[in-house]
Amino acid sequence: MDQFAVKVFVRLRPSVLDPAGEATKSASIKLGAEGIKSLRIGKIIEVKIEGNGENEVREKIDLLCDRLFANTVIEDYEYSLEKL
Amino acid sequence: MDNFTVGVVVFPGSNCDRDVSWALEGCLDIRTKYLWHESSDLSDVDAIVLPGGFSYGDYLRCGAIARFSPLINALDDFVKSGRRVLGICNGFQILTESGFLPGALTTNKNLNFICDDVELVIVSSKGGWFNDGVEKQTIKLPIAHGEGRYHCDSDTLKKLVDNELISLRYKNNPNGSSFDIAGITNEKGNVLGLMPHPERACDKTIGGTDGLFTLKSLILK
């Protein structure tokens, strides 16, 4: 069995308003940061997982992302995978 | 209807289960039974309410974890049998997360948790959940949510409009919901999800009775 470290990034889809991102953008400007064109907040989910090779692990992670980690009505996801 | 029983689902973190039960039993004389989320035997209930609250702490997303409970897994057959399911607030979020209703509910546009009475326009009589919009076209119900902004893509919205699946729209949209949507049904009409709380408007001494009709309509066949 191989072990992998997976980082899943979940983001609101570009078409979905991100009020928390807007509020943080507004605070960033108040702090004096210049040039911020857009600020959006997402989530990172870190998973350590075992499996027989990368393909099998990718299948498991795809299922998790699609069915649980992200709601694909409003969110997109992508992930990186590193063999430990 | 003597034996008609409404199952009120209790998740860890539900907090409107007792309100729903009191409103049904005390105001409408309809028998209720609490259903723990780990139960999958729905044979002795005739309708189901998924009440408001914060199931599983609303971890990950509202309703996302509740979707995997044994009870929600058993709900598919229950809905297919034509029996009625009412999802209120967190219950509505669970119904969208689990795919019984389209779209999703996410953070209010103004980021506030909004606790208020709102005016609602009855749009569709699908499923007979409201008083058909003839006698009374608007109702007033309480809302209490931080994540009640209904979102769906334009194709889904068109489908909702064309098939008369939008039950309720906010008169003054409080949370940024697409198309002012406050409640929708499935195509058959036996599943309703709404953000407002009908169970909190069942007695005129505590703010109105506009929620009675919706709870009473649980006994419709």
What ipTM score was computed for the predicted complex, to two decimals? 0.83
**B110 interaction partners in chain A (CB closer than 8 Å):** 19
Nearest CA in chain A to B154: A15
Smallest CA–CA distance, residue B156 to chain A, in Å, is: 10
Contact check, Cβ <8 Å, A19/B111: yes
And the tokens for A26? 């507004």
Tell me, what's the pLDDT at B35? 97
**B104 interaction partners in chain A (CB closer than 8 Å):** 71, 73-74
Tell me, what's the pLDDT at B135? 62
And the tokens for A4? 């992998």
Mean pLDDT (10-residue bins), chain B, 221 residues: 88 95 96 95 96 93 93 96 97 97 96 95 92 74 96 96 96 97 97 97 91 93 73
List the beta strands (DSSP E) in chain B: 5-10, 31-36, 47-50, 84-88, 104-106, 114-122, 138-145, 149-151, 166-170, 181-185, 191-194
Give the global pTM.
0.92
Rg (CA), chain A: 16
Tell me, what's the pLDDT at B2? 67
C-alpha pair distances (Å), B204 with each of B22, B27, B137, B139, B200 = 15, 11, 19, 14, 10
Active-site residues of B, by number, are 89, 197, 199
Q: What is the pLDDT of residues A4-61, one digit of tens each?
A: 999 999 999 999 999 999 999 999 999 999 999 999 999 999 999 999 999 999 999 9
**A19 interaction partners in chain B (CB closer than 8 Å):** 107-111, 176
Tell me, what's the pLDDT at B3? 87
Tell me, what's the pLDDT at B141? 96
